[in-house]
Structure 1
Amino acid sequence: MNEPVTVVVTRRVKAGRQAEYEAWLTQLLRDVTALPGYLGTTVHRPPPGGPREYTSVFRFDSIASLRAFESSDLRRHALQAVSSLVEADAAWRQLSGLEFWFSPPAGTVVPQPSRARMAIVMVVVVYALVLSIGQLVGVALAGAPSAMRLLVTIVIEVALMTWVIMPRLTRVLARWIYR
């Protein structure tokens, strides 16, 4: 099964090179939108006077799409272009599935997501899934024991939340969740 994958890239920009880095980043984000399987990027910028660390969160629809990006000429050229603007090689961290629903990368300077808003999103999603999937499984497996129907319902709901609903919903609601 193809599973969306998230890559968190942290770079420390050389002093006085932030404007050039921003221009490089803008161009990179423009270029990657044409890649197959690219789902989007969130950039966490440093606060004024802060440590000059930028964290970019790239999302791809599968590990294969990520690997294609990693081996692309686009990435190779981008890394060559940025090397003079940063203090060292970037720190890369790959995440997938549940672990990145609501967790921004460690060390970012953005506010943490609102716990109340995360709870609201989760309640709405779980409620909708329990009602809809529960009904469908109940009809499809009417003769099965209730424990079996419950297990099938949970498996379907968790899979939908992990790979379909939450990655898309958190992208759509990100501004509201982090407000």
Structure 2
Amino acid sequence: MAHDEEGPVTVSIARRIKPGCERDYEAWVSGITTEASSWPGYQGVNVLRPAPSTDFAYVTIYRFESWRHCHAFEVSDARRHWLDRIGDIVEGEASVKKVTGLEFWFDLPEVPVEAKPSPHKMALVITVVAYGVVLGLNLTFGGLVAGLPLWLKALIFVSAQVLIMTYLVMPRVTRLLRPWLYGA
């Protein structure tokens, strides 16, 4: 990944845990998450527990606001200290994916690292989904915010749109459209 890339960075790490070490791994994830949350640019973490959709691996997904902030954490002594403590509870090597910008909306744990949808397909899906979400928000809540200043209405709707798309809509749309997005 180039040093000059702009925008948020999302990192997905899939690990297989030795049988009986699940509690230790979850404590480890909690500890390294607490460490990461104190770093500049940290935007959050999600942990997916073993399931068919994750190929029965734990998948940790963390985000930083920029490549610079993500890289600073990844090369830190603090992170290295945590990684040194994980060796006895994992099996094999971790599978790591790193995406920048809006690509994280199209990132699925079960899709190979090198697979990426084409930019025109991503743009088309984001446009259609964003249009639907904005239209729905306006039809549902437009009357409630009609008297607010334009800047505040925009802030409310953009914040709601990003949250809805990130956590509710895009994971489902990406799975639904997976054959088309990742096909030829």
- Using structure 1 for the length normalisation, give the TM-score: 0.61
Partner of residue 31 from structure 1, selected from 28, 35, 40 = 35
Q: 1:138 maps to what in 2?
A: none
Q: Secondary structure at the match of 1:101?
A: helix
CA distance in structure 2 between the partners assigned to 1:3 and 1:9 by the alignment: 20
Deviation string, structure 1 residues 40-95 (Cα, Å, up to 9, x no partner): 111111149x9651111111111101110111112101111111110122111111
- Pairing 1:51-66 to 2, within 5 Å after superposition: 52-66=56-70
Q: Say how many residue pairs are matched.
A: 132
Q: 1:169 maps to what in 2?
A: 162
Q: Secondary structure at the match of 1:91?
A: strand
Contact kept in structure 1, 2:17 and 2:90, CA below 8 Å: yes
Superposition RMSD on alpha carbons, in Å?
3.5
The letter for the 2-side match of 1:20 is D
CA distance in structure 2 between the partners assigned to 1:86 and 1:121 by the alignment: 39
Instruction: Classify 1:52/1:14 alpha carbon distance in 2 versus 1 (closer, same or farther; 3 Å).
Output: farther
- Pairing 1:1-150 to 2, within 5 Å after superposition: 2-47=6-51, 52-106=56-110, 121-125=130-134
CA distance in structure 1 between the partners assigned to 2:56 and 2:84 by the alignment: 20
The letter for the 2-side match of 1:79 is L
Q: Secondary structure at the match of 1:57?
A: strand
Q: Which structure has the bigger radius of gyration?
A: 1
Q: CA deviation at 1:98?
A: 2.6
Q: How high is the sequence identity, in percent, across the aligned residues?
A: 35
Instruction: Classify 1:51/1:20 alpha carbon distance in 2 versus 1 (closer, same or farther; 3 Å).
Output: farther
CA distance in structure 2 between the partners assigned to 1:124 and 1:64 by the alignment: 31
Deviation string, structure 1 residues 4-49 (Cα, Å, up to 9, x no partner): 111111111011111110111111111211010111111111149x
Contact kept in structure 1, 2:50 and 2:56, CA below 8 Å: yes
Contact kept in structure 1, 2:6 and 2:101, CA below 8 Å: no
- Using structure 2 for the length normalisation, give the TM-score: 0.59
Q: CA deviation at 1:126?
A: 8.0
Instruction: Classify 1:51/1:104 alpha carbon distance in 2 versus 1 (closer, same or farther; 3 Å).
Output: closer
